[in-house]
Amino acid sequence: MKKLLFSVLITVLAFTGLKAQQDPAYSMYMFNGLFINPAYAGSQEVISVMGIYRHQWAGVEGAPRTANISIHTPFRRDQYAIGAVISNDKIGLSNTFTFTPSFAYRLKIKQSRLCFGISASFAYFYQGNNKAVLNTNGDQAFSVNENMFVPNVGFGIYAYGKRYFIGVSAPHLMPSGLSKKTSVVGYDPNVARVYDFLVFNAGYVFGKDAAIVKFRPSVLVKWQQGLHKNIPQFDASLGLLFIDRFWLGASYRTGGDFKYYGQSAIVWAQFKITPQLELGYAYDAEISALRKFTNGTHEIMLGYKFWYDKKRFVTPRYVKYF
């Protein structure tokens, strides 16, 4: 029964109480822009593949574990770009597999680009109720596994130059409840649903091109219906780039304990093994009340860029800051 209650508690926290985390949250969001904004597609100017694995709240049974792979590229006529994100999110007894293709229209304005993107997401939700460990037999609420298909659409705007980026997106334009989609009793249709969700993020790199060390502050702001006092969740990040090859940074995330307090303090690093291959790691130290039960959160990132048109690059030290 303890195992069951813990799994249910984690699921409820992830999908109802911690509404800012309705979608998986990533600490290295600045390198994984397609997941939060379809207009990000093509912004690396080449075929870009990124994979991230996140083990949240290590040491807590049934805590979220998320795997995410994204790929995107501009067309030869780089006014257009396409991309796709495949993710699998496991929380407690539930598992959600999502496929999200995206398309972006890109305008070149001097040395910058202004991009408009749309996406269509196809999520398959499965809950293995028969895996619950019960003290008593015959509980009908856990006798049948649940599964459902939840489609959605999203929209985003993204502008970037060599040293800055700024974007806003709405990943879920079709709020969808679980009403009539599940046989489990007790679901509140005002809680068990996909909420309206808005994301804003921006960043800028300071330092001359030849500088050994460059400095990049960035911010991610999430607003979702039902947050405590309608206060958005903030991720504020400071990163240092050494010799255009090694990133070292720290972040602070608000929203813990359902209030406008800290949820986690984060340290992260990213290293360009080659100009095309990059590896990253982030550790989230929980500072909310959950810190008594977890050893923190681990996130690993691996990315690769396929340079199908080397004439685009004047030097192999070509660097994308975002």
289 within some domain: yes
The predicted pLDDT at position 290 comes to: 77
Residue 208 φ then ψ, to 5°: -70, 160
65 within some domain: yes
Rama region for 5: left / alpha / beta (φ>0; ψ in -120 to 50; rest):
alpha
**Coil, helix or strand at residue 174:** coil
Calculate the CA 91 to chain-centre distance. Answer: 15
Q: How far apart are CA 85 and CA 201, in angstroms?
A: 19
243 within some domain: yes
The predicted pLDDT at position 291 comes to: 79
Q: How far apart are CA 215 and CA 76, in angstroms?
A: 33
318 within some domain: no
Number of domains in the chain: 1
The CATH number of residue 283's host domain is: 2.40.160.40
154 within some domain: yes
The predicted pLDDT at position 184 comes to: 47
The predicted pLDDT at position 144 comes to: 66
Q: Which residue range(s) make up the domain with 96?
A: 2-312
E strands within the chain?
A: 47-55, 65-74, 80-91, 94-109, 112-127, 146-160, 164-172, 176-177, 193-194, 197-204, 213-224, 233-242, 246-256, 261-272, 277-286, 297-306
H helices of the chain, in order, are 2-12
Calculate the CA 167 to chain-centre distance. Answer: 14
207 within some domain: yes
321 within some domain: no
Q: How far apart are CA 213 and CA 282, in angstroms?
A: 20
H helices of 62-221, in order, are none
Pairing of strands 65-74, 233-242: unpaired
End-to-end CA, the chain: 46
The predicted pLDDT at position 12 comes to: 41
Strand partners, 284: 266, 297
pLDDT, tens digit only, all 322 positions of the chain: 334 334 444 444 444 334 434 677 899 988 889 999 999 999 998 999 999 999 998 888 778 899 999 999 999 888 999 999 999 998 877 888 999 999 999 999 988 999 999 999 999 988 766 666 666 665 556 666 777 888 999 999 999 999 999 999 998 888 665 554 554 444 444 445 566 679 999 999 999 988 999 999 999 998 876 666 667 888 999 999 999 999 999 999 987 554 556 788 999 999 999 888 999 999 999 887 777 888 889 999 999 998 755 555 444 445 778 8
322 within some domain: no
Output the pTM of the full model.
Answer: 0.83
The predicted pLDDT at position 172 comes to: 85
